[in-house]
Amino acid sequence: MPFTLTTPLYYVNDRPHLGSTYTTLACDAIARFQRLQGQQVEFITGCDEHGQKIQRTAAAAGLTPQVHCDAVSARFRDLWHSWQISNNHFIRTTEPRHRAIVEQFFARVEANGDVREGRQQGWYCVACEEYKDDPAAATDPSCPVHQRPLEWRDEMNLFFRLSRYQEPIERLVASPDFVSPASRQREVQNFVAGGLKDFSISRLDVPWGIPVPGHEGHTFYVWFDALLGYLSALLQNDDPPDLELAISRGWPADLHVIGKDILRFHAVFWPAMLLSAGLELPKRVFGHGFLTREGQKMGKSLGNVLDPELLLERCGPDAVRWYLLRDIPFGDDGDFQQQRFSDLVNNDLCNTIGNLLNRTTSMARKWFDGGVPPAGAALKTSHPLAITAAAASAQFDDAMAALEFRGAAESLLRLAETANGYLNTQAPWKQMKQPGQEAAVGADLYAVLEVSRSLAVLLAPLVPDLSARMLSQLGQPALVSGADRETGDVVTTESGLATTESGSTWHPVRQWGLLRPGDPLPEPVPVMQRLELDSPL
């Protein structure tokens, strides 16, 4: 069974922003972590492209919806590519195969008696694509989120009988692992406890949508259509658009990572839809927080949006990935602070980790004939640094499995600090000046080199590029954690080292003592450039 993981399917109303980048980066780290452990991963992202809002946005720009969607979704695709996101699926809900999946799914739901006609009356926010029930301000209501006037709607729609699923959904959201973090779970439980009402799944007079079979004039409500994108995404390129086939490719999802604003759709509506169609439920829905910038909401009106493309260009992928994953507790809201960003990147990545590698390879080359020193006593797993490294790596795994990127990063930092401290205590540069100490110095350096290698190996899911650069400084090949893992080719490690565990690029290189004494080390080059941000991003 593959590990199936999704980002939200991003709405193509606007260009990608930092929030979607954050979600996607986090998912990428998870995907890489799973792959490195030998899991086959189906990593899904894509775009949600239907709905009245898109229709209007396109019209306002003088474009047809299709042209608009093509342009914006290409932008998402390109952005993920330039961030080296390792998704192996990218679904657009305007693809023909998706339409077919939606039709098949709907047929199941309808056959199950869960579709009825009903009158939908109320104030509608096109920006939210949602009805707002706010009888209090009925005179001149506006959307609390978008601060735009609501539109009065009164039409016959198709409804999904969500109310039938009150009990199973209650049970589902009460189970401890389904919705996380815990604070969000309570939120969802309260919502469900309030009683589930049928919700409309079609719209009249919204041509930019998938027509509802057998219901002239109706198109599917964007959310109904969008959620199903997770299923159609699973189809491989040459697959016929068949729901059963899609399912066999990796359903149910192991994890939906979403922003907290769309929790209800994923934790309540979506599971009910799946139950109705007789499909398995996703195992986990994780609602992460939002990013602010220097304490303020990012928005066009404030003119303080942080453009992911610019950020990437000026700072590189590693810096941003590290900062976002390391500093913001995953699940909580976070604040992007430029000073802190550069402080943490420079401290953690350049000073603590990068410099550790740099100083150690430099000494090893200088005193041991340009290569890895004789290991001596440092080859034993009972070496203090070997013990510390093993503990750190166990902590790292636990934290990553729990989606606690921050804790994972910290375990690595502590390891690097220990190694730096070890060097300062042992002071090989002093010891080298005394006769007969080469063996002792060699062992110390070897141990620290091994710590550096461990760090490089463990960093792979969080900052794959940096990991590769570090390994290269150690004369080792990069780990393959990206979507190219999907080819199934067994990746040989390096220099004849054991590659026993099939399918895993990680376990074979996670043992202590794999560096071979005498192997040459390349000339030390800083693996991480310091961030010198003299102007605001």
Partner RNA sequence: GGCUCGGUAGCUCAGCUGGUUAGAGCGUGGGAUUCAUAACCCCAAGGUCGGGAGUUCAAGUCUCCCCCGAGCCA
The answer to whether residue 354 forms part of the interface with RNA (CB under 7 A) is yes
- Asked if 527 is part of the footprint of RNA (rule: CB under 7 A), the reply reads yes
Where are any strands of DSSP class E within 49-150?
89-92, 115-125, 130-132
- Nearer to RNA among residue 152 and residue 429 (C-beta): 429
Q: Find the part of the chain contacting RNA (CB under 7 A) among 230-238, 314-322, 413-421, 449-457.
A: 413-421
Show the tokens assigned to 153.
């709607």
Interface residue with RNA, options 96, 176, 194, 436 (CB under 7 A): 194
CA atoms 421, 424, 428, 434: torsion sign = negative
Q: Which is nearer to RNA, 417 or 489 (CB)?
A: 417
- Residue 112: Cβ within 10 Å count: 14
Among 52, 219, 352, 505, binds RNA (CB under 7 A): 352
**Does 530 engage in binding with RNA (CB under 7 A)?**
yes
In this chain, which of 122, 334, 442, 482 binds RNA, going by CB under 7 A?
334
CA dihedral sign of residues 420, 422, 425, 430: negative
Window 3-22: residues binding RNA (CB under 7 A)? none
Q: Does 511 bind RNA (CB under 7 A)?
A: no
Q: Indicate the residue among 351 and 511 with the shorter CB distance to RNA.
A: 351
Residue 415 binds RNA (CB under 7 A): no
Token pair of 239, please? 């697959």
Binding mask 241-260 for RNA (x = CB under 7 A): -------------------x
Cβ atoms of 427 and 358 within 8 Å: the answer is: no
Question: In the complex with RNA, which residue's Cβ is closer, 173 or 527?
Answer: 527
Q: What Cα–Cα distance (Å) separates residue 514 from each residue in 8, 63, 398, 450, 475? A: 40, 59, 23, 8, 12
Residue 202, SS3 per DSSP: strand
Over the window 126 to 155, marking each residue x when it contacts RNA by CB under 7 A and - when it does not, the resulting string is -------x----------------------
Q: Which of 129, 131, 152, 114 is nearest to 225 (CA)?
A: 129
Structure tokens at 192: 């469900």
Burial class of residue 433, CB neighbours in 10 A (0-12, 13-18, 19+): exposed
9-22 burial, b at 16+ Cβ within 10 Å, e below that, comes to: bbbbbeebbbbbbb
User: Can residue 262 be called a binding residue for RNA (CB under 7 A)?
Assistant: no
Binds RNA (CB under 7 A): choice among 142, 351, 431, 472:
351
| Minimum distance from residue 486 beta carbon to RNA (Å) | 31
Decide if residue 355 touches RNA (CB under 7 A). yes
Strands 255-259 and 285-288: parallel
The residues binding RNA (CB under 7 A) are 133, 183, 186-187, 190-191, 194, 260-261, 264, 327-329, 332-335, 337, 340, 343-344, 346-347, 350-352, 354-356, 358-360, 362-363, 366, 417, 420-421, 423-425, 427-430, 524, 526-530
